[in-house]
Amino acid sequence: MRAILALEDGRLFHGKAFGAIVERVGEVVFNTSLTGYQEIFTDPSYAGQIVVLTNPQIGNYGTSPSDAESSRPYIEGLVVREFSPISSNWRSTEVTDEYLERSGVPVIAEIDTRAVVRHLRANGVMRGVISTAVDDTQALIAKARAHKKMDGTDLASVVSTKTSYTWDAAEPRNETGDKLLPSASTSSDQLHVVAYDFGIKQNILRMLARENCRVTVVPAKTTAADVLALQPDGVFFSNGPGDPEPLDYAVANVRELQGKTPLFGICLGHQIFGLALGGKTYKLKFGHHGGNHPIKNLATGRVEITAQNHNYNVDPASLPSDVERTHTNLNDDTLAGLKHKSDPMFSVQYHPEASPGPHDSHYLFKDFRTMMEEFKK
């Protein structure tokens, strides 16, 4: 069956349909990771987005429950060059085509993804639609244009857990299902972390558990008073989809918690920190999505290769003097990390837990553990 990707500016790409035979609309972004497609599918930060994968061969190693970063795929649709109808991997439990069909995700393949990426890089991310109605192109373009923009949209509360739960840290396991050994740098005392779920990934919970933390995950709109009532040793603000500016409730919670307990933020959590500290955010032209972005640690001079997935960024010029810039993106010099000079709080724009991606930034979870230990003294 033939399929079409129609962008809001009128650009059309024709290909072959796989996955679910449904029509989906979303913001079209591209990801440059070389592996880990199932982790990308199931990252809640992709809610509302159609993802173009630059790696040409997708689906060839199938899918496995242990590779999922959440309970289901969150992408609106998938755009690839070659899509494998079979899987070749002893860990695979379901062919990727069947997995996405069962999950209601449409796939368009056999198109020039290089051309799609070049178009988005030149013109910026834009709304698009994947459909099998290949003869109704003008209606599809109009549908893409009519779709609600990501700007000003609170998606974090949509994907967040509806009830609190405790992450079982008795036997934390990594992204391949292997048991994680406790970090050598941790003490024997277990610490309690309350994690705000704006679209949290499973590997974040694994990494916190590896640092001997008991994690209570709470809904996005949980009040700071309710969090403090749980007597946390630290509070974590997770990644998530959409624009950070509508999240007034999260910004207010950061301000209420600041100075009372150690705080650590990742991705959307980092943007929320920036807003809470008096800064401003803005939308990037085509975002940062992939597992190969170089970040410089300004304190050590070390360069980390990182996993990233975000469309918005904190403007460093808008931050007050009591906030220090800790990391920078070497591709475009955007702000990639900050910390408060006196209060125990820090955040990074990228994903130190990776999954998929490199492990260069795992030390940040150890830093959070150390900050909580020192705060207790």
Q: Among all residues, which ones are annotated catalytic? A: 267, 351, 353
Dihedral over Cα of 141, 145, 151, 153: its sign: negative
Compute the distance between CA of residue 329 and CA of residue 262 in angstroms, rounded to an integer.
Answer: 25
Omega prior to 244 cis, within 30 of 0: no
Instruction: List residues bridging with 69 in a β-sheet.
Output: none
Tokens of 345: 């709080």
Residues 6+ apart with CB under 8 A from 50: 5, 24, 26, 27, 28, 29, 75, 76, 77, 78, 79, 128, 130
Instruction: List residues bridging with 128 in a β-sheet.
Output: 7, 26
The continuous run of DSSP H or E covering 205 comes out as helix 202-210
Identify whether the C-beta of residue 325 lies closer than 8 Å to the C-beta of residue 331: no
DSSP state of 103: T
The continuous run of DSSP H or E covering 41 comes out as helix 37-41
Using alpha carbons, select from 237, 300, 272 the residue that is nearest to residue 154. Answer: 272
Identify whether the C-beta of residue 276 lies closer than 8 Å to the C-beta of residue 255: yes
Identify whether the C-beta of residue 63 lies closer than 8 Å to the C-beta of residue 38: yes
HSE value, Cβ hemisphere, 13 Å, CA-based, for 97: 13
| SS3 call for 5 | strand
Rg (CA), the chain: 20
E strands within the chain? 2-7, 12-19, 24-31, 49-53, 57-58, 77-79, 82-83, 106-109, 126-131, 165-167, 191-197, 213-219, 234-237, 263-266, 280-297, 303-315, 323-329, 335-340, 345-348
Instruction: List residues bridging with 264 in a β-sheet.
Output: 236, 346
